[in-house]
Each structure stands twice: as C-alpha cells, then as structure tokens.
Amino acid sequence: MYGRGLRPLAIVTLVVLIGGLAMAFFYAPVDADQGVIQKIFYIHVPMAIVALCGFVAGGVMGAAHLSSGDRRWDLRSYVAIHLSLIMGVGVLVTGSIWARAAWGHWWVWQEPTLVSFLVVFLLYATYQPLRFSIEDPHRQARYASAFAIIAGAFVPLNFVAVRLAQPLTHPRVLSSTGNLPGEFGVTFLVCLAGVALLFATLWKYEMASKHAAEQLRALRSRLAEAEAPGPPPRRAVPAGVGGPVS
C-alpha cells in the first residue's frame, strides 16, 4: 500500500532536489560576506526545518496511536522520528561547516537554532535505545508513542528557551522568506520543497519495506501454524456450560 506512487514521488523528488541545488549554485547570487560557503545554507536550513517538522509529526502520530490503539501509527511515528534523527546528523554537520566558514569556529553557541537543535538531537538519540530495551511489543509501542508526544511538545518549548538565553542575537537567518531578496527566497523555497519531498519519499520507502517485511513474517508464521497445529482440545464436556454448584 505504501509502495504505490513511490516511483513517481521519487522521480519528482529527484527533479526538485537537483533543480534546487542547481539554482543554489548557479542562479542565486553569491553572498557578499560569507562567500560561496554560504550556499550550504540552502541545504542546512531546509534539512533543519524538515527534521523538526518530522519530530513534531512523529509526536502527532504517537498521539494517534495512543488514542486509537492502532499500532500502525506507532510504526509511522517510529519511521518519521528515525528519519528526522538521521537528517538531524546532517543538520549538525552542515551547521558546523557553515559556522566554521562564517564565524571561524567549528561550533558556535551564539546561533540559537543550532544549539537548540543539538539539545533536541540529544533527546531523540535516546528514542531507539528506549524502544529496544522494552521487550513486549505492545508496551514498547505505547512507551515509544508517549516519548514521541513528550519530545514533540518539547521541541518548540526548547527553541523558545534557547532563543531567550541569547543576549545578543546573531543575524537570524532562519527568518521568514520575506526578508530574503528575490533570488535567495525562490532558491530557498525550491530547496525546502526538495528536502521535504526527500523526507516524504524516504518515509514512504521505509514504510513500504517494513510493511512488506511484516506481511512476510505474518505469512511465515501462519504457514508454520498450518503445518504443525496445536494440541486438539480435549473436553470433559463442551466448554461454556456451567457446572453444578455443590
């Protein structure tokens, strides 16, 4: 079910992403202060935005699981969070490179977005260890969903707090596109769309693969059951009839 539409989606993603990157390198003007390396912004910021949305979406899906009891929502939540985490590594790496190029250090504490991203990353890095240390799958799903909800609500709270902790604010690049002159803005939006589509494609792909694996496993266990059935019921009398009370 997830596999349907995957190929067209993947093609669209590839087109938009490559188009966006091309625009970043050839269409958008070079930044006066920071030079060519500023172009990493077109990857770094979209990845950050998409990853954060992914985390929050994971929380919403976790809530859907808890309220409906349907464990498929937990699977969707898991995939969203784990993809966002991987993307988060990319955010931190590109952010570090950008910091080095723009401010001379491999890490800057003054960029509130980067810092709060680090905190969020540290939190979500515990998600998988938490999941895999709980054996019972039903309980694992419930606890993971609870975590996803808590962490998802934490993301905006954390950003607010870290922002407020900065006495001087650096030129905030993660501002609305209204602040960016024409070519920057358009390129940024295209790259954002590209990264978002990439996330969607990867999510769909992973869901399709997990779904298939689960169906395979269910079929296998049914086959095993059919070949070696359990012990035939032995009854003294048909079950369900109440006995005499003496």
Partner 1 sequence: MRAASALLRKDILLELRSRESVPAMALFALTAFVIFHFGLDRSSLAGSLAAGVLWVTLLLAGVLGINRLFVAEREQGGLDGFLLAPVDRVALLVAKALALLAFLAAVELVAVPAFALLLLGPPVWPALPQLIAVLVLADVGIAVVGTLVSALSVQTAARDLIGPLISLPLMIPLLIAATGATTPLLLAGGAAPLPLRWMAILGLYDAVFALLAYAVFDFLVED
Partner 2 sequence: MADEAAAIQLDGVGRAYGERFALRDVSVSVPSGATLGVLGPNGAGKSTLLALLATLVRPHTGVARILGHPLPREGWAVRGRIGFIGHEPLLYRQLSGRENLRYHARLHGVELRRVEALLERVGIAVRADEPVRTLARGMAHRLEVCRAVLHEPELLLLDEPLAHLDPAAVEAVEPLIGRSTRLTRVVTGHDPTAAVADCDLVLGLRDGRAVLSGPAGDVTPAHLGALYR
Does 147 sit near partner 1 (CB under 8 A)? yes
Compute the half-sphere exposure of residue 155: CA atoms within 13 Å on the CB side of its CA. 23
Q: Based on CB atoms, which residue is closest to partner 1, 164 or 226?
A: 164
Does 126 sit near partner 1 (CB under 8 A)? yes
Give first-to-last CA distance, the chain, whole Å. Answer: 58
**Residue 230 contact, options partner 2, partner 1, none, Cβ 5-8 Å cut-off depending on partner type:** partner 2
Q: Based on CB atoms, which residue is closest to partner 1, 134 or 186?
A: 134
Does 245 sit near partner 2 (CB under 8 A)? yes
Q: Based on CB atoms, which residue is closest to partner 1, 96 or 158?
A: 158
**Residue 137 contact, options partner 1, partner 2, none, Cβ 5-8 Å cut-off depending on partner type:** partner 2
Query: Is 93 within 8 Å of 99 (Cβ atoms)?
Result: no
Task: Quote the least distance from Cβ 132 to partner 1, whole Å.
Answer: 9
Does 129 sit near partner 1 (CB under 8 A)? yes
**Placement of tokens 């003496």 in the chain:** 246
Query: Is 193 within 8 Å of 177 (Cβ atoms)?
Result: no
Does 15 sit near partner 1 (CB under 8 A)? no
Distance CA 119, CA 46 (A): 18
Task: Quote the least distance from Cβ 222 to partner 2, whole Å.
Answer: 11
Distance CA 78, CA 230 (A): 34
Does 93 sit near partner 1 (CB under 8 A)? no
Distance CA 221, CA 216 (A): 9
Task: Quote the least distance from Cβ 246 to partner 2, whole Å.
Answer: 7
Task: Quote the least distance from Cβ 157 to partner 1, whole Å.
Answer: 6
Tokens of residue 83, six digits: 């993809």
Query: Is 51 within 8 Å of 91 (Cβ atoms)?
Result: yes
* Footprint (CB under 8 A) of partner 2, residues 182-221: 217, 221
Does 226 sit near partner 2 (CB under 8 A)? no
Q: Which alpha helices (DSSP H) does the chain contain, by range?
A: 6-22, 41-68, 71-103, 112-124, 127-132, 137-164, 182-227
Which part of the chain contacts partner 1 (CB under 8 A), choosing from 17-25, 72-80, 125-133, 189-197? 125-133
